[in-house]
Amino acid sequence: MNYKDRVIELLKDLERPIVDTEIAEMLKIPAKEIEDLRSCLKGLLEEGLLVKTKKHKYGSPESFGLIRGRIQITQKGFGFLIPDDEERDDIFIPAVMTMGAMNGDEVFVTLTEKSLDNKKPEGKVERIVKRKFTEIVGNFESSKKFGFVVPDDPKINQDIFISKSNFAGAVDGQKVVAKILRYPDARRNPEGKIIEILGDKDDVGVDVLSIIKQHKLREAFPSRVLKEAEGIPLEIPEAALKGRKDLRQETIVTIDGADAKDLDDAISLKVLDNGHYLLGVHIADVAQYVKEGSALDEEAYLRGTSVYLIDRVLPMLPEALSNGMCSLNPRVDRLTLSAEMEIDDQGKVVAHKVYESVINSKYRLTYDEVSNLLEGTREEPGLKPIADLLRLMGKLSDLLTEARYRRGSIDFDFAESFIELDEKGHPVNIEKRERRVGHRLIESFMLAANETVAEHYHTKEMPFLYRVHEVPTSEKIDDFNKFVYNFGYKLKGDSENIHPKAVQELIEKVKGTKEEHIISKLMLRSLTQARYYHKELGHFGLSAKYYSHFTSPIRRYPDLMIHRIIKEDLRGKITDSKRAHYEKILPDIGKSTSITERTAEKAERDVDDLKMAEYMMDKIGEAYKGMISSVTSFGFFVELESTVEGLVRMVDLEDDFYHFDASRLELVGERRKKVYRIGDEVEVKVSAVSLDSRTIDFQLA
């Protein structure tokens, strides 16, 4: 243990705070090292891992009744603390108790007296440990003597004051980045200075760029990272083939989107003499090139994931790797990690191997052409040489899907929004894109590999990073049951310990009904969010006891991390010190990559919302049919067939006074008793569009 771990461990169990000399004495630290200890204590204070009293005594935050976590501020100003201790419930923070904390800040909170009376805990921010935002993206509004930056992020509900001397050449109406010079308090707005002008807010590309900046996504790679990537040989060295299984003569194929360039998974399939299938899932061996602690690794960790926006990709790894030496391009040798699975006629994996390999992909296939062949919707002459192989793959995919269905795996069959842009980045068409057979085939094979690898390493009691999805809370299940009761449905079983089979059965029941899409969406919102974790907690949605992310190391850091562990295990290099190293770093990696994943998803959604709003800009006054997708105290949202969603505001319902029934999620008219509820079909017309807030307003037609 270093000083840091030893100090935390000591103070965690003490009943009173102590001074630094007592810490040194109890830890048997010699006098000549006392300054090193004080430096360590200072760092722990800055990290918020210790607290110091006015009398210079140190203690753990818990001993002072402090709860550490990340605060989420709503548009109305109040917030919720998401505690670092995952066993704790979220804590409500009233607006007057946020004490200048901004959305995403790491803070210390104490529980208030109201928590004793309420079922739900309530707290007050005592200290801001770490600010999330040092820079804010928004629209600049100026006058002669001062200006304001109006944040793009609706959860930052205070404008940033900019003095005349800090305009830096910005003019009214531009999209800018402001550095915060002084954070807000109870009496005043935050103050800042302009550090970057992105351009006029209506300029081509500025809209997406502002979202990238808002979410602090990393754009260009640092020069030292690019230099390291460019130094990787374009040919596989002979030494790298040593100990690998040579699969270069096997018929191995990739199946991806037509535009994909980072191909990180390939598949092979045979039928064995006993009638079982032998499925090979071969994944790019990124860990061969991206070594732990290298510049490439540090940058990949900070990014956490590749981000796929409508008009660009922000990759986790430089193009030389993501589209080059790591991508399983056709007809070139590539290093891989393979999961080989023997699968019986019930779709059960009865034997498996995990090993290092080298492949040479024979075909670069697309989802659509494979779907066309297997669905019989269109001739695909180019696939004739492997048509029988693809049909065999389709058969195995069906077997695996059926096996998952039998155990209770939930399949939310949502169509994706496809937004088509012109050469200037303007949306010209939006439509639903259904998941086809080709997508399902690859999904089935990747799920099988992910489960097999997770179970293998859990059985070996190896330090590992899992993809976990916990059982939803009984409160969320009860709320969902209240809602679906209005449609005549109910989730079977005990809400305290619901089984995924119950969710699956309900999803099957609503298939083909007008409320299918809405109920499925609401059910999805009721489930907990999947995350990366260093312990196996199971995956509720897949009804799987063991699950990890193994199949996408080009674009997901957790996959790259477990590849390193797997390779060291295969080479017999997991020593006690290595095991201790991974046990120490994996909790932080799980937490960090879960956050970067959510940031990426939010940025992707924001860009979609922006382009949907832009698409509807010239359609004001036009009428559409849609379905009510959610109901709130201020109105209801309507989703059109194209997946575009807009709000009908309560104030625009002029035929009556409406009241919101929270228990039934519906608006009820006071006089005529007209009801608006989720799933109702309505006709609306577009009344207003805001690109700044990325919102669309409807009125009933």
Kindly report, residue by residue over 618-653, the tens digit of the pLDDT: 999 999 999 898 899 999 999 999 999 999 999 999
State the pLDDT at residue 89: 84
Residue 136 has pLDDT above 60, yes or no: yes
Range list of H helices, 183-341: 206-214, 223-230, 295-303, 319
DSSP state string for 451-463: HHHHHHHHHTT--
* Assigned token pair, 503: 């969710």
Say what percent of the chain tops pLDDT 90.
Answer: 72
Higher-confidence residue: 137 or 1? 137
Convert the pLDDT of each residue in 426-441 to its tens digit: 999 999 888 899 999 9
Convert the pLDDT of each residue in 74-103 to its tens digit: 888 899 999 988 778 889 999 989 998 999
Residue 677 has pLDDT above 60, yes or no: yes
State the pLDDT at residue 294: 97
Q: Which residues contact 203 (CB under 8 A, 6 or more apart)?
A: none
* Assigned token pair, 445: 């094979």
Please name which of 173, 376, 380, 362 lies closest in space to residue 280, comparing C-alpha atoms: 362
The pLDDT-based confidence of 512 (bands split at 50, 70, 90) is confident
The pLDDT-based confidence of 1 (bands split at 50, 70, 90) is very low
State the pLDDT at residue 639: 92
Residue 198 has pLDDT above 90, yes or no: yes
Partners of residue 148 on adjacent β-strands: 141, 161
State the pLDDT at residue 434: 83
Query: Helix or strand or coil: residue 264?
Result: coil
Continuous segment of H or E residues that includes residue 246: strand 245-246
**Model's pTM, two decimal places?**
0.87
Convert the pLDDT of each residue in 691-700 to its tens digit: 888 999 999 9
Please name which of 137, 361, 337 lies closest in space to residue 263, comparing C-alpha atoms: 361
- The whole-chain average pLDDT of the chain stands at 92
Give the span between the Cα atoms of 111 and 99, in whole angstroms.
Answer: 14
Beta strands in 514-654 (DSSP E): 531-533, 623-632, 635-640, 645-649
The pLDDT-based confidence of 391 (bands split at 50, 70, 90) is very high
Q: Which domains does the chain have, with CATH numbers?
A: 3-62 (1.10.10.10), 65-130 (2.40.50.140), 135-203 (2.40.50.700), 223-468+538-606 (no CATH), 474-527 (no CATH), 620-700 (2.40.50.140)
Give the span between the Cα atoms of 468 and 532, in whole angstroms.
Answer: 6
Convert the pLDDT of each residue in 562-611 to its tens digit: 999 999 999 999 999 999 999 999 999 999 999 999 999 999 999 999 99
Query: Helix or strand or coil: residue 25?
Result: helix
Residue 111 has pLDDT above 80, yes or no: yes
Give the span between the Cα atoms of 659 and 669, in whole angstroms.
Answer: 6
Convert the pLDDT of each residue in 335-371 to its tens digit: 999 999 999 999 999 999 999 999 999 999 999 999 9
State the pLDDT at residue 113: 77
State the pLDDT at residue 328: 98
Give the span between the Cα atoms of 265 and 338, in whole angstroms.
Answer: 10
SS3 readout for 464-505 = CCEEEECCCCHHHHHHHHHHHHCCCCCCCCCHHHCCHHHHHH
Partners of residue 334 on adjacent β-strands: 359
Give the span between the Cα atoms of 246 and 242, in whole angstroms.
Answer: 10
Residue 115 has pLDDT above 90, yes or no: no
Q: What is the mean pLDDT of residues 42-46?
A: 89
414: DSSP letter: P
Residue 119 has pLDDT above 80, yes or no: no
Give the span between the Cα atoms of 194 and 137, in whole angstroms.
Answer: 10
State the pLDDT at residue 137: 96
State the pLDDT at residue 144: 84
CB of 271 within 8 A of CB of 344?
no
Do strands 174-182 and 135-142 pair parallel, antiparallel, or not at all (unpaired)?
antiparallel
CA 237 to chain centre: 36
Higher-confidence residue: 577 or 496? 577
Convert the pLDDT of each residue in 440-493 to its tens digit: 999 999 999 999 999 999 999 999 999 999 999 888 888 888 878 877 888 888
Say what percent of the chain tops pLDDT 70.
Answer: 99
